[in-house]
Structure 1
Amino acid sequence: MPAYRPDGSPDLAAALGALPTGTPVSEVARRLLDLFTSGEVAPGTRLPPERQLSATLGVGRSAVREALAALEILGIVDVRAGSGTYLRGTASELLPQTLRWGLLIGERNTQQLLELRAGLEIYVARLAAARTSGADAAELEGHLARMRDSVDRLAVFAKADLAFHHTLARMARNDVLVDTLHVVRSLLQVYADRAVHDELAALRAIAEHDAIARAVASRDEDAAASAMAAHMATATARLAAEAARR
């Protein structure tokens, strides 16, 4: 919990504490994120200047500067010229950005991300089947129709495919699950956009999506999870192959 000044405002620098000698930029960012997501720092709070953070953490100013720059890119802090650096949102609003940052600054392992995505998508399909409505089912069918109409335009096909999965995730009605899945998907998107290379692969993907949509519409949770598992097996193989080519 942050230390507080006599006026009741948090002493952010004192709350951070010193880091070990030779600490990398990623650890500086992690320490800042721990503080920001603790709920003790109000949105809009101005952070201490770089030199104060540097002295408190026991690291060079360049490490602090790089960590803050990365957090700014991710939308966690707002750097205002001539004014200072400010925390953007509440702890709950920062969760998706925090998850994204944690994955990006760790050792990125594509295979592990693919496995995580598969597990999340299967659970999403199960929840969507349990919580679907008629309007939801119609929306899925609309995405499927666009996929069928664009088998010869793979860039358009990829967008319709992604929209299908986004709708399915929304149907699960679990914001934390959706945020986590969005982070993993975004990290894999560079491969996903190019994973379907030909019409044959597109037609197979359509058949798999159709099986998912039918199971969800009939509220069959087991069938939805099974259909998604089958789709994830082929989709994961395509994404892994695309990643290996890079």
Structure 2
Amino acid sequence: MKDIFSKQDSTKKPAIIVRRILDLIEDGELMPGEKLPNELEIVRQSDISRASVREALSALEIMGMIKRVPGEGTYISERASAGKYPPKNILEKFLEDTEKVGGSFEALEARMAIEPSVTAMAARRAEPEQIERMETLLESSGVALEEHDVKLFLDIDRDFHIAVAEATNNETLISISNDLLKRADVHMWRRYKEDLRLLEKTVEAHRFILNAIKERNPTKASFYSEKHLARCV
């Protein structure tokens, strides 16, 4: 395959790679099913660090633009041809903001791997007062949504996820969850959650998660947690 990346000013880091791949998809130069160069080859072509390349590919994977096949490589997904992704200028700003906290997409990947299990454990272990705390936060998020108070909503959203982690009564998981939320939550999702439709979906998702916890149903709790995180990006 010929080089598809050029050496760039690395200050924009992951945004450069994301923008270039989306441009190639839009121009028809990268088609669904086509294989991308591996990480080291992209580093060679772009002169951008491997960590930034990995961050960009993680972002594209979470958005469904690429698909990683273990032992084979990374491919353009079928979804990519439909143009189902945020406008590039918004996405670039989104990626640049995440660099302020470092490794944000890796943190989100970690949340997607860990949080469904944390939520399942909460369904098994939550104390009545912890469930009551989640109910209070869910009600408060509904009020913030009605008042279009996005900043308050985001604060309550984070508190809800912390409350779920605290319901595991496992100090290690609580600490890990707090760290991941600090690294991934506000800077990564702020621009998307300002869409009131996404705020409404978040309230709905939290309601499903809470109901599963109240029902003591770990399987449902894990399912709704995973579905919620996948929708947040």
In which range does the TM-score fall when normalised by the shorter chain?
0.5 to 0.7
Map 1:30-179; keep pairs closer than 5 Å. Answer: 108-151=102-145, 152-179=148-175
Instruction: Please tell me the residue identity of whatever aligns with 2:218.
Output: E
1:177 & 1:231 partners in 2: Cα distance? Answer: 19
1:140-190 Cα deviation digits (max 9, x unpaired): 110000110011110010111111111111001111112122222211232
Counterpart residue type for residue 209 of structure 1: H
2:177 corresponds to 1:202: no
Partner of 1:215: 212
Q: Secondary structure at the match of 2:231?
A: helix
Q: Aligned partners of 2:108 and 2:161: how far apart in 1?
A: 15
Deviation at 1:193, TM superposition (A): 4.2
**Counterpart of 1:172 in 2: which secondary structure?**
coil
Report the CA distance between 1:194 and its aligned residue: 4.2
The equivalent of 2:176 in structure 1 is 180
Aligned equivalent of 1:7:
none
Matched, 1:227 2:221: no
Return the TM-score normalized by structure 2. Answer: 0.53
What CA distance in whole angstroms lies between the structure 2 residues aligned with 1:194 and 1:169? 25
How many residues in Structure 1 have an aligned counterpart in Structure 2? Answer: 129
- Whichever residue aligns with residue 170 of structure 1, its letter is E
Partner of 1:50: none
2:143 aligned partner, one-letter code: D
Q: 1:162 to 1:109 in 2, by over 3 A?
A: closer
5+ unaligned residues in a row in structure 1: which ranges?
1-107, 238-246
Determine which structure has greater relative contact order: mean sequence separation of CA pairs < 8 Å that are 6+ residues apart, divided by chain length.
2
Alignment match, 2:12: none
Counterpart residue identity of residue 114, structure 1: L
